[in-house]
Structure 1
Amino acid sequence: MLDNSSTMHFTGLFALAFAAVSNAVVLDSAKVIGTSTGRITKYLGIPYAKPPIGDRRLRLPEPNNPYSGVVDATVYGPACPQHRPGGFPLPPAAGSDVRDLFVNTSVKYLAEGRARWIDETPDSGPENEDCLSINLQVPSEATPSSRLPVLVWIYGGGFEAGTTRMYNGGPIVERSIDLGEPIIYVSMNYRLNAFGFLAGKEIRDAKVGNLGLHDQREALRWVQKYIVSFGGDPQKVTIWGESAGAISVSLHMLTNGGDANGLFRGAFMQSGAPLPVGDHSVGQKAYDAIVAGTGCSGALDTLSCLRKVSYGAFKAAVANTPYIFSYQSLIQPYPPRVDGVFLTDHPQQLVKKGSVAKVPFVTGSCDDEATMFSLSTLNVTTSKEFKEYIKTLWLPKASRYNLNKIMKLYPEDIEQGSPYDTGTLNALSPQFKRFASFQGDAIFQGPRRYFLQQRSGKQNTWSYITKRLKWLPFLGSFHLSDLMYTYSGGELQDYLIHFVNSLDPNGGDAPQWPKYTPSSPNLLTLKDDLAGRPTLTKDTFRSKAIELLTQLLLKNPV
C-alpha cells in the first residue's frame, strides 16, 4: 500500500459507485477515479511521491510504492506550506489616498483577471506538509492509444507561495480540441520557501538543496511512467511555467549537464529565465534564521533538529523571514541556489558554458515586470537613498565607477521609469518608477535577453513582450498579466498550443511569429490595441543599461 494517507483518498464503496458516472484509469493495480464535465476529464490530487513529512522533511523526494486499491482523484490535494506577506504590500508611507486608489483600481483588476483562470478558490486552499500531488485535465475521448502531446505547468509565486488549484487548464484543453490539436494538461505541487529551497552549508553538505526543483523533476518522471494511461505521449512533453515556474523550467534545461533525460522536448517560459543567483553560502542567513526560529540553535546537528520540530514551529519560523513583498523585495531568501547537485554552478554561468538542453523554447515577458515588486520601497525617496539601497542589497562589490554608471543609466527622471511610456504618471514616490525599471531589468528582462543571446542560433527560440494594460494605475503591463492571454484565451494561448504540438508556435490564423536570432532579435509585441494584431519589435531597448547590469550580476550574483 502507498504511504500517502492524507493525499491519497481511498473511498471504498463510494468510489466504486462513483466510477459508474466518471472515467477511471488504471495505474499499477489501482483504479483512479476522476470527474468528467463536457469534453474534459479531471484527475486531481494524485500523489506522485511519498509524503515529505517526519524524517523525510528536507530530503529528496522518494518515488511512490506501486498504486493499489481505489484512488479518489476528484479533488485537489492540499497546497504545500505557503509563505504569505504580513499584509498588503503597499506601505503606509504611500498615504491613504494613494492606497485607496491602488486598491480600487489595480488590485480589483488583478483579482478579476486572475478569476478567469482560477479553478476552485482565489486563495491557496488548505495547506499540508504532505502535498506532493499531481493533476491532469484530459480530453474525455482520449485513450491509451491516443498518444496526445502533454503540457506540464509549473506555477509561480517567488518560490515562496503558489498551488495548482489556482490554475484551471480546462480552457486550454478545450481550445486545443477546437483547434484540432488536442493536448493533455498536467500540473504538480512542489515544496516552497524553507520547506523546499533552504540553503546553507549544512544543506549543501547533505546534498538536499533545491528540493522544490527535485520535486518537479520527480513529477516529470511520474509523467513518463504513467501518462500513456491517460492518453498522453511521454515523448511529446513540453514544460511551461510563469515567474518562479518559468525560472524552474529554465533550470530543468540547465541541470544534468543540459541532458533532459527524455523528460521533455520543449520549454515555454513566461517572465522567467536563468537568474543571477549565487551559491548556498548566500543562503546561510536564511538557514540560520530558521534554525533560531525553531529553537534548534543549540543542536549538534541542526539539520536533524529541523526534521524533528513540529510542522507548526517550522512554518512559524518561515513566517518570520522576509517575503517577496518585504523591504528587500526581489533579493529573496529562498531562490534556487548552487548546491553542487541540481545546479553545479551559477545558472547564468551554466548558460555561458553551454550546459543547456538543446530543445526549442519560448521565453517572454511583460513590459513592467517589477512595478508590483517596487511597492515596498516607497520610503526610499531620494537619489542618495536609492544608490545606497542598490549598493547594499544588489551590488555590494560594484566599483564606485560602475555604481555611478548604473545611476546614470537608470536615471531619476520619472518619464524614463516603469510603467514605461506613461510620462509623468504613476510616480508613487520620486524613486518608484526608477526602482521598477532597475529591478525589472535585473531579474526579468536582463536574464531573458542574456539567455536568448547565448542560445539563439544554436536552437530554435522565440520571444515576446506584452505592453497591454498601460492604463492600469501604477502597475501598467504588470508581472503575470500575460497569463490572461494563455490561460483565458488570446493569441498566446493559441501559440502555446501550437508549440506543444509541433515545437513551433506558428499555425492556424495567428500572425506569423519569427524566430529570435542573433541578426534578428524579434519580439512578438502585444499592445493595448486589442483590435489590432501583434506586431514585431527588436529586443534592443535599454541596451547599454541592461548589458552593464547583466555583466555586473554575472560577476556578482545575488
Structure 2
Amino acid sequence: MCAQPPVIETEGTIYKGTFLRNNTVATFYGVPYAEPPVGDRRFRAPVPIKRRHGPGKTVVDASKEPNFCIQSLYGPTATVHGGAGSEDCLHLNIYVPPRVLRSRPSSAKLPTLVYIHGGAFKAGNPLAWPFDHWVEQFPDVVVVSVYYRLGIFGFLSAPNAKGALDYNAGFLDQLAALKWVKENIANFGGDPQKITINGQSAGGLSMELHLVANGGKQTLFQQVIGQSMWRIPLMQISETQAPFDFIMGEAGCNIAGYSNVQKIDCYRGKDIPTLMRSSENAMIKNSSWTPYPVIDGTILPGRPTQLINQGKFSKVPVLVGATTDENFFFTSSLQTDFNMWWPAMTNLSAIQQIYPSSDFANETIRAQTANGETMFRCPREHVAEAQTAAGKSAYAYRFDSMNPTQQGPPLVGHSAENWWMFRGVNTVENGTYAFTPFNSTSQSTFAKELLAYWVSFVRSGDPNVHRLEGSPIWPKWENGYVGGSSASPKGKRMVLKEGSTTGYRGKYQSGSRAEQEPAKELSRCHAVDALAPNLHI
C-alpha cells in the first residue's frame, strides 16, 4: 500500500520516517527538538535545534529507534546500577496516520497528544510506551512522545550556581519539546491549537508542574491527562547545598575554597561513569537527595499543591486518576512512610487524626491508605475540583484491573494501567522493557476501551464522544455535596475495569462503571491538601 518510506518536507528540513503495523502508522523516530546537551551544554537549558547545513535542506533520518536518555539507579534497593543511554537524547517520536501524507499535512489539523513518561525522573525509555497501536486504532490523532534528561543530567541543583547550570534542565527539556511541537506539529498533520499533554507517575507530577509553571500562564497546551500524579516534597534551591556537596565529594570536585560555580565546572568535565557513581552513591548513602525538580522561583515559583490551592494554575479541561491500591512502599507503619517521604512534617499528629486507627482493619492498611492517598490518589480529586471550580471540564477515574503479570500481593498497584495501554509492557532497569501479548478477547477489548476513552478526550475534551461501543458513560466531575450533606459528595468517577465475554453469544460486557466519590476518602483528601505547607507539596 505504501511502498516508499514516509517523508515530510518542511521549509528547512526533510524528515524520512518508517511505516509500522502493516503500513497503517507513519512513524518518525528520534526527531531532534534541541541541540545535543553535551560538553559546555551539560547541565544547562536546552538550545533550540538549528539547521546544520548551508544551502539546501537538512535531512533527518527518522526511520530508526533513537538513543534514550542516560538512566539512573531507580532506587536504593535496585539491583542494577544505571549508565545506559546517551546524553544526545533530546528527541521526539511522532506517530502519524498515513492519510495526512497524501495531501498537504498542515491542512489536516488533527488533535495532538504529547506524552511525557514516568520513571521517577531517573529512568524511562519512551519506546517502552509505544503509540503505533493507538494511531492504528484511532487514525484521527497525532501522538508525540518526549525524551528528556534524567537523573543528575536533568536535575543537578545547588545554591548560588547561576551561570554554571540551569535549574530543572530536564523540565526545561519538556518545555522545549512542547514549544517545538507547538511550532512544528502542523507539518506532521497535528493541530497546534489542540494539544493535550499526558503523563503517568513522574510524568503525572510533570503534568502538575506544567499546570503551575510560569505562574499558571501557559500557551503550549489546551488539555491535560494526569495519571497517578505523583505528589512528593520538592526542595527549595537553598536546601540543596548539603546533598550537592556530597555529590561533588564523590566526584572529587568538593575542593576547599571552590565556589559552587567552580565545583560545577569541575563536575561538568567528568566522564559519565564518574557522574553516575557520584549521583547514585548520593541516592544510596544520602537519603536527603534524589534527582527531582526543585522550586526555582521562576519557572516553578512554588510547590504545586499550594499553588493550586491559591488558584495559581492554568485553567484547562483535565482527565485525572489513580489506581485502586496506588502506593510505592508497603510498610505497616504510617510513621515510617511519612518519615521517609515527608520528613519536613515532624509532627504527625494531624495525619494520625485524619487516618485514625479505628477506621482501618489493621495498621498496614492504615499506613498504605495514608501514604497512597497523600502521594497519588488525592491529587486526582484536588486537580478535578480546582479545574471544575475554574469552570473547566474534569473527568476522574479509579483504575481497577491488575497487571496480570505482576509479582507480589494481588493489588491494583502503581503503573497497572500501563500494562493494558501499551501492549502488555513491563519496564526493567536501564531502559529495557518487555511486552506480554494479550491472551484473551476480554484483555484486548478492555485495552481498546481504555484507548477509546483517552483518544476521545484528546479529540473532543470528553471521553464519551468517541468511546467504544458498549462502554458506559463517564460522568463529568461535580464539586460539592448533595443537599449540602458532607456524607453525599456530588463527584463521580469512572471505575476502569476489565470486563468479560460471558454475555449473549460471547459478546464483551464492559466491567467499567461510574461510582460516587466515597465521602470519607474525599474528606481525608481535603484535610491532607490543607496540610500542603507542612508536607512541602
TM-score norm. by structure 1 comes to 0.77
Distance 1:339 1:161 in 2: 23
Number of the residue aligned with 2:276: 315
Question: Cα 1:69–1:452, aligned 2, differ >3 Å: closer, same or farther?
Answer: closer
**1:370-519 equivalences in 2 (<5 Å):** 370=327, 373-374=328-329, 387=335, 390-391=338-339, 394-399=342-347, 401-402=349-350, 404-405=352-353, 408-409=356-357, 413-414=361-362, 431=364, 433-458=365-390, 459-469=392-402, 473-474=408-409, 476-488=411-423, 489-508=447-466, 509=469, 510-519=471-480
Deviation string 1:374-417 (CA, Å, 9 cap, x unpaired) is 15x6xxx6x5xx53563465244443643643663597744xx7
Q: Does 1:354 align with 2:311?
A: yes
Deviation string 1:304-328 (CA, Å, 9 cap, x unpaired) is 22222222211221222327xx996
Offset, 1:264: 1.1
Question: Cα 1:141–1:403, aligned 2, differ >3 Å: closer, same or farther?
Answer: closer
Instruction: Say which is worse superposed, 247-256 or 387-396, in terms of deviation.
Output: 387-396
Aligned with residue 339 of structure 1, among 278, 291, 296: 296
Contact 1:159–1:193 (Cα < 8 Å) also in 2: yes
Question: Cα 1:87–1:334, aligned 2, differ >3 Å: closer, same or farther?
Answer: closer
Matched position secondary structure for 2:414: coil
Contact 2:36–2:90 (Cα < 8 Å) also in 1: yes
Number of the residue aligned with 1:252: 210
Q: CA RMSD in A?
A: 3.0
Distance 1:390 1:77 in 2: 39
Matched position secondary structure for 2:277: helix
**1:28-107 equivalences in 2 (<5 Å):** 28-37=11-20, 38-66=23-51, 68-85=57-74
Where does the alignment leave 5 or more consecutive residues of structure 2 unmatched? 424-446, 481-489, 501-508
Distance 1:307 1:225 in 2: 32
Deviation string 1:84-115 (CA, Å, 9 cap, x unpaired) is 2478659xxxxxxxxxxxxxxxxxxxxxxxxx
Offset, 1:183: 0.6
**1:7-406 equivalences in 2 (<5 Å):** 21-37=4-20, 38-66=23-51, 68-85=57-74, 127-143=85-101, 144=105, 145-177=107-139, 182-203=140-161, 208-261=166-219, 263-272=220-229, 275-298=232-255, 299-300=258-259, 301-322=262-283, 333-370=290-327, 373-374=328-329, 387=335, 390-391=338-339, 394-399=342-347, 401-402=349-350, 404-405=352-353
Question: Cα 1:29–1:308, aligned 2, differ >3 Å: closer, same or farther?
Answer: same
Q: Which AA in structure 2 matches 1:304?
A: D
Distance 1:87 1:249 in 2: 26
Number of the residue aligned with 1:556: 535
Distance 1:285 1:78 in 2: 33
Offset, 1:167: 1.5
Q: Which AA in structure 2 matches 1:43?
A: F
Q: Which AA in structure 1 matches 2:276?
A: K
Offset, 1:551: 2.9
Q: Does 1:542 align with 2:527?
A: no
Distance 1:553 1:338 in 2: 15
Question: Cα 1:535–1:213, aligned 2, differ >3 Å: closer, same or farther?
Answer: same
Question: Cα 1:259–1:515, aligned 2, differ >3 Å: closer, same or farther?
Answer: same
Distance 2:67 2:305 in 1: 34
Contact 2:199–2:206 (Cα < 8 Å) also in 1: yes
Matched position secondary structure for 2:59: strand
Contact 1:525–1:535 (Cα < 8 Å) also in 2: yes
Deviation string 1:146-179 (CA, Å, 9 cap, x unpaired) is 12111111000011111212111011101112xx
Q: Which AA in structure 2 matches 1:279?
A: Q
Question: Cα 1:480–1:404, aligned 2, differ >3 Å: closer, same or farther?
Answer: closer
Matched position secondary structure for 1:201: coil
Contact 2:121–2:291 (Cα < 8 Å) also in 1: yes
Deviation string 1:108-130 (CA, Å, 9 cap, x unpaired) is xxxxxxxxxxxxxxx99950111
Offset, 1:281: 3.2
Matched position secondary structure for 2:13: strand
Distance 2:303 2:58 in 1: 45
Matched position secondary structure for 2:283: coil
Offset, 1:529: 4.7
Contact 1:79–1:127 (Cα < 8 Å) also in 2: yes
Deviation string 1:529-549 (CA, Å, 9 cap, x unpaired) is 544442122233434543443
Deviation string 1:464-504 (CA, Å, 9 cap, x unpaired) is 00122298741510111112343342322111111111111
Q: Which AA in structure 1 matches 2:477?
A: Y
Q: Which AA in structure 2 matches 1:444?
A: F
Distance 1:445 1:327 in 2: 28
Question: Cα 1:354–1:197, aligned 2, differ >3 Å: closer, same or farther?
Answer: same
Q: Which AA in structure 2 matches 1:335?
A: Y
Distance 2:122 2:252 in 1: 22
Contact 1:516–1:523 (Cα < 8 Å) also in 2: yes
Q: Which AA in structure 2 matches 1:188?
A: V
Contact 1:151–1:239 (Cα < 8 Å) also in 2: yes
Contact 1:210–1:337 (Cα < 8 Å) also in 2: yes
Contact 1:204–1:340 (Cα < 8 Å) also in 2: no
Contact 1:156–1:162 (Cα < 8 Å) also in 2: yes
Matched position secondary structure for 1:542: helix
Contact 2:32–2:90 (Cα < 8 Å) also in 1: yes
Number of the residue aligned with 2:443: none
Contact 1:240–1:269 (Cα < 8 Å) also in 2: yes
Contact 2:248–2:263 (Cα < 8 Å) also in 1: yes
Number of the residue aligned with 2:441: none
Contact 2:337–2:367 (Cα < 8 Å) also in 1: no
Matched position secondary structure for 2:389: coil
State the aligned residue count.
474
Question: Cα 1:172–1:56, aligned 2, differ >3 Å: closer, same or farther?
Answer: same
